[in-house]
Structure 1
């Protein structure tokens, strides 16, 4: 059974082209992908992630609110007793913010320009069955 990944666009950012490209790359790599569409509330993203039994939540954020939205998502997953769901984040992310995102609980960070193969490889690593 393929691993399930939720690709979500939190906040008010209306640009979804990159998220759709990543979702398609993950689908083409064999993952089952759920795409939320744009302008999602963190609470709704978490509810969908739990309902759909995903292994990874991928946040696509171009608005500049990546640190706050990532932290809120990680905390909401913990509150929903779903801390085992990995959170990854991609988008317009300055290099200086990468450590802030990992400190906030992101399992991986993909700034604009990250190769799709690198994203797929990281999601594979995050969803690999324990040895």
Structure 2
């Protein structure tokens, strides 16, 4: 029997809270699509609950949250808690945006997020890192 091809990596890109700047999120979404991933974009001003419900409905491998508002300290832990409570603890939570390095280190150390990408991260590096992390979670 021939090998069944792995399904494409599915990523939900979200803008949580009142942050209305989504150009970066759309650029990252396009780059991930170009890298062969299936990308779902939630649009602006979503609540953590809406994002987690969409992640569950879309059966995603990763949730990428773009944050430029400074709300990362409350939004990201809330998302991780809701993902875990929904049984989505295997879903990667990735953050991007203007997150100070000390805050990023803290979020990573506490297991709130799996990766943080700040302005200047290359699109190829984001796609490659996400692909490697998802493949590792899938066991291959």
- TM-score using structure 1 length: 0.96
Q: Does 1:114 find its partner at 2:121?
A: yes
Q: Which runs of 5+ in 1 are unaligned?
A: none
Structure 1 match to 2:102: 96
Cα distance in structure 2, aligned partners of 1:58 and 1:67: 15
Count, aligned residues = 131
2:112 aligned to 105, 128, 131, which one? 105
Match of residue 123 from structure 1: 130
Correspondence 1:47 to 2:53: yes
Deviation at residue 112 of structure 1 after TM alignment: 1.3
Give the distance between the partners of 2:72 and 2:121, measured in 1 at CA.
16
Report whether the alignment pairs 1:70 with 2:79.
no
SS in 1 for 2:64: strand
Superposition misfits of 4+ residues, deviation over 4 angstroms:
none
C-alpha distance in 2 between matches for 1:10 and 1:69: 7
Q: CA deviation at 1:105?
A: 1.6
> Tell me, which stretches of 5 or more residues in structure 2 are unaligned?
1-6
Distance in 1 separating the partners of 2:39 and 2:97 = 18
How has the CA–CA distance of structure 1 residues 123 and 88 changed in structure 2, closer, same or farther, with 3 Å as cutoff?
Answer: same
Q: Deviations over 1:21-56 (max 9, x none)?
A: 000000000000000011000000000000000000
Between stretches 3-12 and 109-118, larger displacement belongs to 109-118
RMSD: 0.9
Instruction: Please list the CA deviations of residues 89-124 of structure 1 after superposition, one character each: whole Å capped at 9, or x if unmatched.
Output: 000111111112212520000011111111101110
